[in-house]
Amino acid sequence: MASLNNHEEPRVIEITDGVLLPTHGERRIIDSWRLTLSIAILGLLAMIFLVKDPYSQIFRVVIKGAPLTFGVTLGAIFGSVFLGLFTGIGQIAHVRLLQLISGVYVELIRGIPLLVQLIFIYFALGKFFQLDGIPAAIIALSICYGAYQGEIFRAGIEAIPKGQMEAALALGLTRGQAMRYIILPQTLRIVIPAIGNEFIAMLKDSSLVSVIALRDILRRGREHVSRTFLSLETYALVALIYLVFTLVLSKLVAMLEDRMKRHEQ
């Protein structure tokens, strides 16, 4: 959590529960991110092109699940940021009812494991209205991560010095205008690292959708194992594929954060 002091420099909220973003201090040629990525890529390439059998066959099968993994993750990123933003604003709203609604949502969702939510939405709610696997997965991930991001946005908004809102109001802006033009642009900059971490965690947690019969990377791996019994080989490859994706995504988030910082100075 950021500390609140009265100066204008925006602080960064450090909430990490996923892959650590590469830190800015690490500017050497060999840093931990590069080393891990190199090992992962070299490992993958060696398995697919040097050892070949059975890895190239496994790779061709499981990589077909990548579009679904990315699709679900991307959909859930949009959904959860949308939900999180409104939840965060709701929590600090002056209307008590909005505070309660967003507060209950956060408490409720954070107290239930994602896997349980996913199964509940797909199978239990499926009794009342038919939900396809992909929408169900995107909705479940969005609702779950929206609650966590709501907390991040709330903390981000609260970290903006009170004087910013006062200055905006004093100029004649409405509360909504002040939020939109003054508070939220500054909030976004503060929460990018934390939200970026959530994106990475979502990419990883998208593998849970394999339990509702969506053929993502993991699901295709499991199907392949049941056909060939090559469990070690298949799951090793699946793990490496996820690792490469996650590392690349964490770099993208770090670059985004960097761009935001550069713009500021």
Partner 1 sequence: MNSNKIMVDIQNVRKDFGTVKALRKVSLQIHEGEVVLIIGPSGSGKSTLLRSVNRLETLTSGQIFVDGDPLIGPKADIRKIREETGMVFQSFNLFPHLNALDNICLAPIKVRKLSRTVAQERARKLLKRVGLGDRENAYPGQLSGGQKQRVAIARSLAMEPKVMLFDEPTSALDPEMIKEVLDVMLDLAKEGMTMIVVSHEMGFARAAADRVVFMDEGEIVEMGTSQQIFDNPREERTMKFLKHIL
Which residues bind to partner 1, rule: CB under 8 A?
6-10, 161, 163-164, 166-174, 177, 181-182, 185-186, 189, 264-265
Minimum gap (Å) between residue 159 Cβ and partner 1: 13
Does residue 72 contact residue 206 with C-beta atoms inside 8 Å? yes
**Distance of closest approach, residue 189 Cβ to partner 1, in angstroms:** 7
Which of 139, 141, 137 shows the shortest CA–CA distance to 214?
137
25 versus 176: smaller Cβ distance to partner 1: 176
Q: Nearest approach, Cβ of 82 to partner 1 (angstroms)?
A: 22
Q: Which residue, 135 or 185, has its beta carbon nearer to partner 1?
A: 185
What Å distances lie between residue 248 and 20, 62, 167, 219, CA to CA? 12, 19, 41, 22
Does 135 sit behind a cis peptide bond, omega within 30 degrees of 0 on the bond before it? no
- CB of residue 103 vs partner 1: minimum separation in angstroms? 25
Residue 139 CB, nearest approach to partner 1 (Å):
33
**Least distance to partner 1 from the beta carbon of 59, Å?**
45
Identity at 59, one-letter amino acid code: F
Residue 85: name the closest of 17, 162, 180 by CA.
Answer: 180
Please tell me the distance from the alpha carbon of residue 13 to that of residue 156, in angstroms, as a whole number. 7
Q: Which is nearer to partner 1, 132 or 166 (CB)?
A: 166
The 8 Å CB, 24+ separation contacts for 48-55 are: 54/228, 54/230, 54/233, 55/233, 55/237
Least separation, in Å, of the C-beta of 169 and partner 1? Answer: 6
Measured from the CB atom, the residue of 36 and 164 that comes closer to partner 1 is 164
Select 2 or 74, whichever has its Cβ closest to partner 1: 2
Nearer to partner 1 by Cβ, of 26 and 264: the residue is: 264
Q: Which amino acid is at 141?
A: L
Distance CA 147, CA 124 (A): 21
Question: Which CB sits closer to partner 1, 67 or 163?
Answer: 163
Q: How many CB atoms lie under 10 A from the CB of residue 231?
A: 13
Residue 110 and residue 148 in contact, taking contact as beta carbons nearer than 8 Å: yes
User: Which is nearer to partner 1, 7 or 96 (by Cβ)?
Assistant: 7
Sequence-distant (6+) residues with CB within 8 A of 63 are 217, 241
Residue 6 CB, shortest distance to partner 1, in Å, is 6
